[in-house]
Amino acid sequence: DVQMTQSPSTLSASVGDRVTITCRASQSISNWLAWYQQKPGRAPKLLIYQASNLDGGVPSRFSGSGSETDFTLTISSLQPDDFATYYCQQYNSWSQFSFGPGTKVEIK
């Protein structure tokens, strides 16, 4: 099974900061990686699919990169609406999807 790790688990940042979250897969998943944003009491919202493709309507300050086992999500200039928890998810095989443990982005 593919295990996902994320770092950091919590990130304190200010509005306007550049923020980077990393995600690592225990084996190669090519580019079958998505990033989600989740706010309390809400369903996850897809931000990025196939590692680097931005979902429509997602602000361009979000970007994703990486392949095989190492991936990053970057927010170029943190906005008040971006304080949330972010999850990576691998979907390399129908037989097993898995999520990273999440990164909570807090106000510094």
Partner 1 sequence: DVQLVESGGGLVQPGGSLRLSCAASGFTFSNYWMSWVRQAPGKGLEWVANINQDGSEKYYLDSARGRFTISRDNAKNSLHLQMNSLRVEDTAVYYCATYGGRLPAVDWWGQGTLVTVSS
Which residues sit opposite 4 in a β-bridge? 25
Residues 6+ apart with CB under 8 A from 102: 6, 9, 38, 85, 86, 87
Q: How far apart (Å, rounded) are the C-alpha atoms in residues 94 and 71?
A: 20
Provide the minimum distance between the beta carbon of 45 and partner 1 in the complex, in angstroms, as a whole number. Answer: 8
Nearer to partner 1, 49 or 71 (CB): 49
Q: How far apart (Å, rounded) are the C-alpha atoms in residues 7 and 103?
A: 7
Instruction: Give the three-state DSSP class for 92.
Output: strand
- In the 8-state DSSP scheme, what is residue 55? P
Nearer to partner 1, 82 or 103 (CB): 103
Nearer to partner 1, 36 or 82 (CB): 36
Provide the minimum distance between the beta carbon of 42 and partner 1 in the complex, in angstroms, as a whole number. Answer: 8
Nearer to partner 1, 56 or 80 (CB): 56
Provide the minimum distance between the beta carbon of 1 and partner 1 in the complex, in angstroms, as a whole number. Answer: 7
Provide the minimum distance between the beta carbon of 60 and partner 1 in the complex, in angstroms, as a whole number. Answer: 17
For partner 1, the binding residues (CB under 8 A) are 1, 34, 36, 38, 43-46, 49-50, 53, 55-56, 87, 89, 91, 94-102
CB 57 within 8 A of CB 76: no
